[in-house]
A = this chain, B = another copy of it.
Amino acid sequence: MNKREDLYEKIVELAVRRGFFWQSYEIYGGVAGLVDLGPLGAVLKRNIEEKWREWFIIRHQDFIVEIETPMITPRAVFEASGHLEHFTDPIVECRRCGRKFRADHLVEEKTGTTVEGLKPYELTKIIKENDIKCPICNGNLGEVREFSLLFQTTIGPYSENVGFLRPEAAQGMFTSFKRVYEAMRGKLPLGIGQIGRVGRNEISPRQGVIRLREFTIMEVEFFFDPEEPSCPLLPEVENDEIRLISGDMKKAKTKEPIVVTVREGLKKKLIVNEWLAYFLAIGQKFVKDLGIPLEKQVFEEKLPYERAHYSTQTFDQLVKVSRWGWIEVAGHSYRGRYDLSRHIAYSRKDLTVYRQFREPRLVRIEELEVDAEKLKEFYGENSAKILRAISESDKNILLKELESKGYLSIAGFRIPKELFKVKVVEREMKGKRFIPHVVEPSYGAERLLYATLEYAYTIKEGRVILKLPKDIAPISVAVLPLVNREPLVNLARKIYDNLKLTKLRAIYDSSGSIGRRYARSDEIGIPLALTVDYRSLENNTVTLRDRDTWRQVRIKIEEAYKKIPLYIKGELTFEQLGTPVS
């Protein structure tokens, strides 16, 4: 039995008791897939977000920015993005008891084979052929159908104004791309990041904090010119090794990843784009900073039928945990021009950007011309309105619509092909308009929080120590009077109050034996325990105890205020804090 095997139960027990997380609305029986983050969990999550922000935003702040857009999204957006059509799971209902199940999960459990990418009718067939029954009442199952994972609502008092909760932050970046691009003065590459909540209406989530109906996504949509796809920052990471399972390896049932450098991965065409490769490298450093070693991380390529509808290449960033094995903590997708071109087609707004050529070039272009006179003849006084609508639309989109449909639906009218002329001209162009391509690293914060806790969880001499990275730990220092008596208490409280002024996260604890208080402090991962003893009264020193080694040093109180924040940031070693206590 794997020593980590039962870890999940222990983490959950600790999480509930000490205040990391628990199921939401417990007093009403709880809701599957919803969790509350308690006092420690909320700070831990925020520290993880801050770490992500350092790696993905602040480091690149000249060309990656952060925005915030709403969860509530009008129907038009998900029509364009394809989520209305594709963001579904197959569901099957028991004809006897009426319970509903994930059809793919039932089939996988019964047949032992993976069925990702199968259509509902194919799943129905397998269920019938294998005589799969309701796992609860053994009744017959109905037809498999698609179930939308979008939480639906209504915006305002009109029931036709359907809205949804976003299942990813990405569409907020695509729909506001042009605004951000302009505010950032029209330069590419441009990354737009966002940390925010998303909703996914899972059918019956049963994996605690791992599969949630509402969670926090940390996402960058990185826009670049497809004709200039190289990443100037690549040299910083090109020799980093990554553990990778390619699509071909998966097809060949290889379970062990290969280890390649980022440069090799690109050269062997395992990774299709330099920016995608760059963010894999940044991403594994970020996750390592949470205390999850590189050898417990793998990038697994998704096979075509496993990929989301918008993606041309996707790597799942996987982390190994006790109960579920390898779980996905991030998806790194090459979304190409999919999203922007869909929004251009559906909104008819020009979301292209302009690139100046080094030298003017001769370019063949198709031009759309309206026969204004004929238009007037057929549409009378409405022709002005139609002309205006045409002039406000992207000509290329109109051209495509005209070609495919034979007419144009615009301004409430249907204009036949015959009223247009398409001229092919050769022009000297100084530049051209194009649709940027997009690479997307996207992390789930709560999963990372769980994995972080699991990797921090250690037993030493029969006691739990949560070895959280110092700068991630929710509380930085515990202030403890050696015994709960004056004048020690008075001095300890004074020190605690001063630490609070430095905005350090600190707790004061005076109840129970000092050993018990050390144990309580270790269990929630507080890196330092500051103890006020009788010598403190004589010479204004205190002891600092290291959570992981239980070693102690003695330090002047005044120095402690300055040095503790530096130690937490990793700028001082424990030994540099003071003189060892023997």
Note all chain B residues with C-beta closer than 8 A to A213.
70, 72, 155-156
Q: How far is the CA of A22 from the CA of B41 in the complex (A)?
A: 33
Contact between chains at A183 and B39 (CB < 8 Å): yes
Of A23-31, A108-116, A407-415, the one contacting chain B is: A23-31
Q: Are B176 and A77 in contact (CB under 8 A)?
A: no
| 0/1 string, A15-41, CB within 8 A of B gives 1 | 011110010111110011011111111
Complex: how many Å from CA A172 to CA B346? 38
Q: Check: A62 CB closer than 8 A to any chain B CB.
A: yes
Q: A71-B214, A214-B70, A505-B61 are in contact. Are A39 and B154 (CB under 8 A)?
A: no
Tell whether, in the assembled complex, residue B22 and residue A176 are in contact, meaning their CB atoms are under 8 Å apart: yes
In the complex, A91 has a CB within 8 A of chain B: yes
Q: Does A309 contact B (CB under 8 A)?
A: no
Q: Does the CB pair A183–B38 fall under 8 Å?
A: yes
Main secondary structure on chain A at its contact with chain B? Answer: mixed
Q: Is A261 an interface residue (CB 8 A)?
A: no
Asked whether, in the complex, the Cβ of B70 is within 8 Å of the Cβ of A34, the reply is yes
Q: Which of B65, B71, B77 contacts A197 (CB 8 A)?
A: B71
Q: Is A285 an interface residue (CB 8 A)?
A: no
CA distance A259 to B2 in the complex (A): 68
**Residue A405 CB within 8 A of the other chain:** no
A199-207, A312-320, A528-536: which lies at the interface = A199-207
Complex formed: what's the CA distance from A403 to B290 in Å? 56
| Chain B min CB distance to A205 (Å) | 9
Flag A39-73 by CB within 8 Å of B: 1 or 0 each: 11111010000000010001101100111111111
CB pair B24 A157 closer than 8 Å? no
Segment at the B interface, from A145-153, A238-246, A299-307: A145-153
Cα distance A163–B349 when bound, in Å? 35
C-alpha gap A213/B155 in the complex (Å): 9
* A172, A176, A194 — most chain B CB neighbours (10 Å): A176
Say whether A500 faces chain B, with CB atoms less than 8 Å apart.
Answer: yes
CB-CB under 8 A from A176, the residues of chain B are 22, 24, 26, 36, 38
CB distance B71 to A156 under 8 Å? no
Residues B500 and A17 in contact, CB atoms below 8 Å apart: no
Alpha-carbon separation in the docked complex, A62 to B39 (Å): 11
Does A175 sit at the interface, judged by CB under 8 A?
A: yes
Residues of B within 8 A of A40 (CB): 183
CA distance A182 to B199 in the complex (A): 29
Within A456-506, the residues touching B (CB, 8 Å) are: 496, 500, 503, 505-506
Closest B residue to A181 using CB positions? B19
CB distance from A508 to the nearest CB of B (A): 6
Cβ 8 A contact of A27, one of B34, B351, B505: B351
State A77–B26 Cα separation when bound (angstroms). 11
Residues of B within 8 A of A194 (CB): 42
What's the nearest-Cβ distance from chain B to residue A191, in Å? 11
Task: Judge if A180 is at the interface, Cβ distance under 8 Å.
Answer: yes
CB distance from A471 to the nearest CB of B (A): 12
Is A203 touching B156 in the complex (CB atoms < 8 A)?
yes
Determine if A507 is an interface residue (Cβ-Cβ < 8 Å): yes
The answer to whether the Cβ of A554 comes within 8 Å of any Cβ in the partner chain is no
A95 contacts B by Cβ under 8 Å: no
Question: Considering only CB atoms, which chain B residue lies closest to A155 in the complex?
Answer: B31
**Does A357 have its Cβ within 8 Å of any Cβ on chain B?**
no
Can you name 9 A-B pairs with beta carbons within 8 Å? A24-B176, A25-B77, A28-B74, A28-B346, A38-B179, A39-B180, A71-B71, A153-B165, A156-B201
Beyond known contacts A25-B76, A39-B183: 12 more, CB 8 A cutoff: A22-B176, A26-B175, A31-B163, A37-B69, A38-B180, A45-B68, A58-B505, A70-B214, A71-B71, A72-B213, A156-B202, A157-B204
Closest 9 CB pairs of A and B: A19-B183, A39-B65, A27-B347, A37-B68, A27-B349, A28-B76, A70-B214, A100-B157, A42-B68
